[in-house]
Structure 1
């Protein structure tokens, strides 16, 4: 059909046009409506292209020119490191602002906006805030991705209307510089009840605003809150559609998330706090679990892994300090295990009770490794060690019934 004829995506703009011309001729030969008569399909093609290449389609015909000037999908994602001078960056920023100004002036709908900005001064910050406000306040907006790659001012505060679009499905905010200059205002308008994806990385946000978002957006399927400033305690509850939760550096409590499959928790910034920094109810649906940066001085975390995740298939456990002589990991359903111990003064014996285990990767210092249950038919075993390894280590593995024949790969 016509969609399959034109729905293509390739890196070479010339190839795109060749395929497009062939498609148009084919469509004409079978006496179907002309492509120029279906602006939605032209928009579909242009939406798959970066802004510069989409603009190049204007030379095809007047219909393509008009379609490009009203395309509802805007992607401004340059690689600023390729700009040789600041003048080039400023010129590109002006092009962005002029485009957004034209859309606002002509009342053109924007359904998807992917925007990367370099904030040079207070003037550029004010202009960026102004045009972002115009875009996000429209109910037609469905997807928003905003990245700050450089900021020479203390704060860049996003407008109150950031979450005001009732049709907003995805929002991604990323601050790619060291300081937390990207800030969400303290009293935003929250109307995005259909939000499915919330992705915040290195953003300054208060606990109250985040909790209000999680309470209002009950259809959330993916949440990522990665090293955001202003958060200490986070409660994730009553999100029945939530499938993925990626979060870091907070005391976390989880309740009533029955569809959760992937749980990734990073607590590196907690340092030497000797407690498990999250409270969870039974997460029986989780199959992929990643916990990094914890201090293990008792069996609390290991018991949680054993009892709270009965369907667990993939486990990545990054331990900053282990104060146990024996580290016992038990899971009846586990198939893949990545274990890392970063700093350790004592020798640790690792015991893995996982009869379905197929892949095991270890990084760090270890005194002994023991699989008390029946060894699986294949183990992908990688050792990444910082000190020389004595041959007696492998002899101990053999003595403890970890057959060398079961290793698919062993690397040191």
Structure 2
């Protein structure tokens, strides 16, 4: 009865041992394999248990680990403890064909009459390792993808910033173009207005002296008697005056054109100021009205540093204006004071004067004062004077009251 029960238990153990779904290996104290189940044989590529039983268990371990394993096995046999699966060690087995596989091993031990034995429960974790490796690769690939995505995002942001900057630049250029177009249109309108003003003014200013010349020339032929010489002289003088007036108008037009085209440049030189002004006063005496005289006084040093041509044009223009806008028998006063730092030029008349309102626009092109509309003129004289003074780094000051005359002061640095 006892033997029958023992046989039954052995059969049960054998069934569990052989049908287990993991490899089971039993070794003795000397490291000799005493038992191996079918699952383990299949794991390591063996057909029969006899191929392993009686062999050192190092047969199933890669050669490079043999020495250390013998030491570890001896230590374990002296102090056997149960070691569960997944203790964090990297373990490897070697198959019959020499290929290696990663393993996870759980150890246990028992003792009977035949001695002490260790039991190793062995799982081939190749698939799990492969899955972990794939997962690791996927994570690395995902990290690489994320990195590339970040790089792409950064590149996209840079492109967006660049395109935004280009767009802003284009918008700014568009605004500048719009502003330039607006300025160009404004200048074109201004030019159109100037052309209209010029045509209107020129037709009027040329018509009057030409009519005078024509009528005086016709009348000259009628005065044939000797006692009519004073009448001939009168018309000759009228012709001279009209011709001079036309000449002045043409000179103003030519000067304006040269200024606008930038063809006039300033070339300063030293010259004696007093004799220079006296000569110019003498040369233009014919434009003075009856009883008008020009009085000049100079103080200070003799030689001034100016552009003679530009200064002559300024002087002639201002004397002409003073005579034109003053009545007969009214004197014109000019003074100059020259130091080492500046030349102060002053011209004063006792003419009709300029209103405070008109003084604000006095140097604008084609501007005529309200009280001067019936007096011949182009409205270019003072505009040209202001340009010449500016070219010589000077400044102009005007004092004037209606019916009390005008004083113009120009200061040139020396």
Q: TM-score, normalised by structure 1?
A: 0.22
Which has more helix, going by share of residues?
Answer: 2
Q: TM-score, normalised by structure 2?
A: 0.21
Which has more strand, going by share of residues?
Answer: 1
Larger Rg: 2
Of the two structures, which has the highest relative contact order with CA contacts closer than 8 Å and spacing of 6 or more? Answer: 2
